[in-house]
Copies of this chain bind each other. A is one copy, B any other.
Amino acid sequence: MAKILLRPDFLFVGGENWETIKNGELLIEDGTVIYAGPRRQYTGGEIDKIIEGKNRLVMPGLVNAHTHAAMTLFRGYADDMPLMDWLRNKIWPAESRLTSEDIYWGTMLAISEMIRGGITCFADMYFNMDAVAQACMDSGIRASLAQGLIGLDNVKGTAGLKESKKLVSNWHGSGEGRITIMLGPHAPYTCPPQYLQKVMETAAELNLPLHIHLAETRDEVRECLKKYNKRPVELMESIGLFKHRVLSAHCVHLSKEEIEILASSKVSVAHNPGSNLKLGSGIAPLADLLAGGALVSLGTDGAASNNNLDMLEELRLAALLAKGSQEDPTLLPAREALKMATLNGAKALFLADGTGEIKEGSPADLIMLDLEKPHLYPRHDLCAHLVYAAVASDVEMVMVKGTILMERRELLTIDEEKILYEANVRAARLTR
């Protein structure tokens, strides 16, 4: 890998305040950022690759904090349907036919799309996770993977935990630390409290964070109240789940008390506005979560319910929806939204190594955008442009841990033509 020098006209190092550095410079050595700041007279010895960035902007890679990558195979298979009808009669039957190979190719399709849109890291929950991990290894992307655990039946629940342990020993820390593992109890309505106790024991034993769906729909809240006389977040708190590190996806239907619980327990919330709208789940109280001090990141959810894996779109949607639903244009300003999609994402995935921002010592997970497009002119405020105008195809170069995965919009680690072919053939078989 060795030394790479980038000289973008604009450098956003991200972090807390998204300061713009004009005429920036970045030096990367063996996958790590050595320097990020104003352009200097370079005197540091031989460089293996120089990337010039005239009219280009470099920023931290986007973190997709909640998805089900292999579900790209079901993109557009069934839309505009009531949720349970969609799941029972379309998605679940098709999923039951999935082989490990299907999941590999579906995940590769997802990764192709994610890299093309500037995503350098994602949190996944699905099954046959060895295939997902292999796709991450092959493509070079960073990921935090969780086997989805269903605890409604003792045998399956125990088997799931066993598979999760195997996943840890097979993959945790692989790809020089690119791959990390979480435990993935699916949701309160598929994992009863006594099963969640076992999950928590395993989490403590292996020192793993948890990734769960929480308070996604009104029905979930209603049934939880009926069964346990507690709302989902209250229930999870009462059984001690939040004593662990938890990434909690959706969090759409929350009481004021539940927002306080999430904030004070330092639970990571993955906001999924596109999926929540499309499935008719509702609009999460994002402004209240942020005002309450919760750590909120952003996710696309799976492509069957979004229907894309486009974090720039998700970012814009989050910012627009926060303002529009509360009729307050000052909510979720551009820099806050950018932080959600980068630094907060890395925190949500419990990556404590400097991922999510560009600073000395952090892994070189970054993207370069081409600004020479009508929709990015004039250049009053490039942060605002990133949030309110930029699109996935503006991303020109993507780097993870110093390895270039896309250059001039060409994927370097992936045989895209083969992936499109395999995905189409397999999707047809699965939905026949």
Binding site for B on A (CB under 8 A): 72-77, 79-83, 86, 109-110, 112-113, 116-117, 218, 273-274, 276-283, 303, 306-310, 313, 317, 319-321, 323-334, 372-375, 377-382, 384-385, 388-389, 391-393, 416, 419-420, 423-424, 426-428, 431
- Residue with the highest number of chain B CB atoms closer than 10 Å, among A75, A324, A427, A428: A324
Is A112 touching B374 in the complex (CB atoms < 8 A)?
yes
Besides the known contacts A72-B374, A76-B381, 15 further A-B residue pairs in the complex with CB atoms under 8 A apart: A73-B378, A75-B380, A116-B375, A274-B320, A276-B324, A281-B324, A307-B385, A308-B389, A310-B375, A317-B317, A377-B420, A377-B423, A378-B423, A378-B424, A378-B427
Q: Give the 6 A-B CB pairs with smallest separation, nearest first.
A: A277-B324, A378-B427, A280-B329, A393-B393, A307-B388, A80-B333
Is A79 touching B388 in the complex (CB atoms < 8 A)?
yes
Q: Which of B331, B374, B424 contacts A116 (CB 8 A)?
A: B374
Is B109 touching A277 in the complex (CB atoms < 8 A)?
no
Q: Which of B329, B391, B419 contacts A80 (CB 8 A)?
A: B329
Given contacts A281-B324, A320-B278, A309 and B384 within 8 Å (CB-CB)? no
Please name the residue on chain B nearest to A115 by beta carbon.
B374
Given contacts A374-B420, A424-B379, A428-B378, A324 and B391 within 8 Å (CB-CB)? no
Given contacts A333-B79, A372-B420, A375-B309, A277 and B321 within 8 Å (CB-CB)? yes
Q: How far is the CB of A424 from chain B (nearest CB, A)?
A: 4
Given contacts A82-B329, A324-B283, A428-B378, A385 and B278 within 8 Å (CB-CB)? no
Query: Could you say which residues of chain B place their CB within 8 Å of the CB of A317?
Result: 317, 320
CA distance A331 to B75 in the complex (A): 19
Is B280 touching A77 in the complex (CB atoms < 8 A)?
no
CA distance A336 to B43 in the complex (A): 60
CA distance A329 to B377 in the complex (A): 36
Please name the residue on chain B nearest to A278 by beta carbon.
B320
Query: Could you say which residues of chain B place their CB within 8 Å of the CB of A381?
Result: 76-77, 79
Is B278 touching A109 in the complex (CB atoms < 8 A)?
no
Is B277 touching A323 in the complex (CB atoms < 8 A)?
yes
Listed by A's residue number, 23 A-B pairs whose Cβ atoms lie within 8 Å are: A76-B378, A76-B389, A77-B380, A79-B333, A79-B381, A80-B384, A82-B329, A86-B329, A109-B374, A110-B374, A112-B374, A116-B374, A116-B375, A273-B324, A277-B321, A278-B329, A303-B389, A310-B391, A377-B420, A380-B431, A391-B391, A391-B393, A392-B393
CA distance A217 to B307 in the complex (A): 31
CA distance A372 to B79 in the complex (A): 21
Is B389 touching A280 in the complex (CB atoms < 8 A)?
no
Is B81 touching A329 in the complex (CB atoms < 8 A)?
yes
CA distance A389 to B300 in the complex (A): 12
